[in-house]
Structure 1
Amino acid sequence: MRVAILAAATLSLVAAGMGTAEAARKKVQVASAYDGTWSIEVITLDGPCDRAYRYGVQIRQGEARYPGSDFNITGRVATNGAVRATISRGSDSANVVGRLGRQGYGNGTWTTNGGISCRGQWNAERRG
């Protein structure tokens, strides 16, 4: 189901990049503090998207990877744990914002863009 996949994809944790090459090197060093497996809970607060999901995301050197090819992810986990991302599938997309903590937890919000109008929150917990 298109709505279900987009809502689930919304929480694949990736965040905004930094501007300079030096900042990028520092980002990889510090962002690796967030590397590992994260369990993500996605909750829809408003709109026709499915109510809730839970799935796993791998973060490596600050980049999120989701097993499967149902959607595209752009962005990174910033050195301070800030999460900013765009998740897309076809013409549907969603913006994700929030923060991961070094203690192994994180949270934030998500909103869809365009045709499907949904918004919600997400919670993350490090698993590995």
Structure 2
Amino acid sequence: MLKSSVAALVLCAALPASLQPAAAEGRSYNGTWAVQLVTDSGLCDSRYTVSLAINDGDVRVASAGEGGAMVSGRIGQDGNVGLTVRHGSASGAASGRLQANAGSGTWSVSSLCSGRWTAQRRSTRVAQAD
């Protein structure tokens, strides 16, 4: 059970939640993004992949099948991203930067594990909520 909770957090901690730009500022990053996470240290699996949707600067999990974690975050006009993820009692965070069609940064899940992430835009269409 702990492993699946950590996996859900790590999957969603790919795109990072402390920025507060206007909704239109993140518009150029709208779409569906494939995010790959690599664990550099800790108890998490070595690699994860998740699909995230960005709509007017807001970030959410693109599919309900991604472990049920709650994701909150924003993307600034300059591409800086911040994300907070909660799954049960565990929490995680990530930070980094997006460019037009790619991005990268770092993530951590409490004191359990940490690593780096990369993202590639897959579509400029925003996936509809499940």
How many angstroms apart in 2 are the aligned matches of 1:110 and 1:89? 15
* Contact 2:16–2:95 (CA under 8 A) maintained in structure 1: no
Letter in 1 for 2:35: I
Which protein shows a greater Rg? 1
How many angstroms apart in 1 are the aligned matches of 2:16 and 2:112? 21
Residue 111 of structure 1 and its aligned partner are, at CA, apart by 1.0
Letter in 2 for 1:6: L
* Contact 2:6–2:109 (CA under 8 A) maintained in structure 1: no
How many angstroms apart in 2 are the aligned matches of 1:126 and 1:98? 15
Q: Compute the TM-score of the two structures, normalised by the length of structure 2.
A: 0.82
How many equivalent residue pairs? 117
Does residue 40 in structure 1 map to residue 35 in structure 2? yes
Letter in 1 for 2:34: S
Residue 15 of structure 1 and its aligned partner are, at CA, apart by 4.2
Residue 88 of structure 1 and its aligned partner are, at CA, apart by 0.8
Structure-2 residue corresponding to 1:73:
71
* Contact 2:16–2:93 (CA under 8 A) maintained in structure 1: no
How many angstroms apart in 2 are the aligned matches of 1:6 and 1:56? 13
Structure-2 residue corresponding to 1:21:
none
Residue 112 of structure 1 and its aligned partner are, at CA, apart by 1.5
The unaligned stretches of length 5 or more in structure 2 are 124-130
SS in structure 2 of the partner of residue 127 of structure 1: strand
Overall identity of the aligned pairs, in %: 32
Structure-2 residue corresponding to 1:30:
25
Does residue 106 in structure 1 map to residue 97 in structure 2? no
Letter in 2 for 1:81: G
Residue 57 of structure 1 and its aligned partner are, at CA, apart by 1.0
1:1-128 map, 5 Å: 1-11=4-14, 13-18=15-20, 24=21, 27-66=22-61, 67-68=63-64, 70-102=68-100, 104-113=101-110, 116-128=111-123
- RMSD of aligned residue pairs (Cα, Å): 1.5
Q: Which runs of 4+ in 1 moved over 6 A?
A: none
Letter in 1 for 2:27: S
Q: Compute the TM-score of the two structures, normalised by the length of structure 1.
A: 0.83
